[in-house]
Structure 1
Amino acid sequence: MSQPFRQGATVYLSHVWPDLTIEWHEERIVASSKAPLQTLSSAVYGGGFGAAERFVNWKVPLTYDCSDPVADFRGMFGEWGYPDESTIGFMTAAKLTHASVMEEAGDQFAIVCVTTAGVSNAARAGIGRPSFSAYAAGTINTFIMIDGRMSSSAMVNAVIVAAEAKAAALQDLGIEDPLHGGHATGTTTDAILIGASQSDRYDSPHLYAGAATTIGNAVGRLVYETVYESVITRDEP
């Protein structure tokens, strides 16, 4: 098991990346880096390409009114003492205590992967569905933080590998789309973060991150394992 916060811990210190810390609070999980990371994400707050030092996975109730999440994040950042310009924000209704954390050091990189998962609105991509179903509760949020140098295209490549690995984990778990049947490939509200240190401590950048590269293979395995663990334990105390 790689769910440190189920055991009562509130802080996780990375073994492969000493500058990275993950903290659990009752209403949020926060990953913090000592230096800004170059980011690519689908975050509610601060999404797209950018740079940030702090990454928040905020637990909201199933009844959360999502009419203005950006304003809500700004209010919460002020309450928590986080600067808007260097913080990226995600939302979830999943159990934060069941976050799965796994890490690995490899060829010119170190990766820390954190996933929280709910599958109440599991969905299969590629099938038509009514748009209102996108607002059901439940989501899979994955933070993939990489100490290493990556090209922008490699970061996009990592998103592809991560999405494939998530879909594979859900298929192996037998998670189905309740609307159409068949294996789910995710949920209607999944979100992802790729954060790269771009540190000059590494000799050369990773230009690609497909499944056959060392870095892409590691991303795929860590995403698969964290999604699998967080989903399979979601109903456990």
Structure 2
Amino acid sequence: MVLEPILGDRHEDGRNIPLLAWRIGRPLLAISSAPLGGGIGLRQWIINATVPMWYDRDDPDAHLCELAAELGFEGPGVGLMTGVDVAEVVTAADEGVRVWATVGLGAPIWAAAPDADSSRVGTVNIVVAVPVRLSEGALVNAVATATEAKAQALWDLGVAATGTATDAVCVVCPPDGPAAAYGGPRSEWGGRIARSVHAAVRSGGGTGKGSGMPWSDRNQ
């Protein structure tokens, strides 16, 4: 299973705004928390779209469907959004698992902290590709594992947070074949997911690509 995103852009509000797009030839089994295509099911494409920091549409799912149509994508897919430049995507791999992360840390939070200022924004979007089928339980566990690895990376970076309020994750795998039963961090595939996500988020939030600067701040 080989997935490679294409970096493109769209013309919107008088600007060329970047987006990443994965065109999946054969539908893959996916689990996601994205605003479009969330849940578990077969998916035929993935989009991770930059939006300006002044973005105020209240229908991101419909907006992402519009972007998919402009790209000629058909069928069900997964759509994510972020305020950072998706051209700064960071990749990592571990024994067959591949991860792509766009890391925006403009508004880091502790998951269990009291509600705070919601005017600041920041999003960590993570896409994980596993080359073998995962059971539905393992898919759920894989999301938890990716989230734990993200939080560990933030800890290593000295960021006092578990993530941001708008983080999203998508895990895809083949829809057939023998199903791996587990996705926890000490399982075969869960361990590979954890290491790949940790490497990508740590790189993206550190001195490498993906400084987390809002796209609009880069393009004033």
TM-score (norm 2): 0.86
Q: Partner of 1:224 in structure 2?
A: 198
Which residue identity does 1:92 align to in structure 2?
T
Structure 1 CA distance for aligned equivalents of residues 129 and 27 of structure 2: 11
Q: Aligned pairs, how many?
A: 203
Aligned position for 1:115: 101
Mapping for residues 195-214 of structure 1, pairs under 5 Å: 195-200=172-177, 204-214=178-188
RMSD: 1.8
Give runs of ≥4 in structure 1 deviating > 4 Å.
Answer: none
1:127 aligned counterpart, secondary structure? coil
The DSSP-based 3-state class of the residue aligned with 1:20 is: coil
The aligned residue for residue 148 of structure 1 is 132
How much does 1:66 deviate? 3.1
One-letter amino acid matched to 2:48? N
Cα pair 2:94 2:193 within 8 Å, conserved: no
Deviation string 1:84-118 (CA, Å, 9 cap, x unpaired) is x332100011121221112233xxxx321100011
Following superposition of structure 1 onto structure 2, how do residues 1-237 of structure 1 map, counting pairs within 5 Å? 17=1, 19-26=2-9, 27-83=18-74, 85-105=75-95, 110-130=96-116, 133=118, 136-175=120-159, 183-200=160-177, 204-232=178-206, 233=208, 234-235=210-211
Distance of 2:183 and 2:66 partners within structure 1: 36
Uncovered stretches (5+) of structure 2, i.e. residues with no partner: 10-17
| Alpha carbons 2:42, 2:175 under 8 Å: kept | no
Q: Does structure 2 conserve the Cα–Cα contact (< 8 Å) formed by 1:33 and 1:54?
A: yes
Amino acid at match of 1:152: E
SS in 2 for 1:51: strand
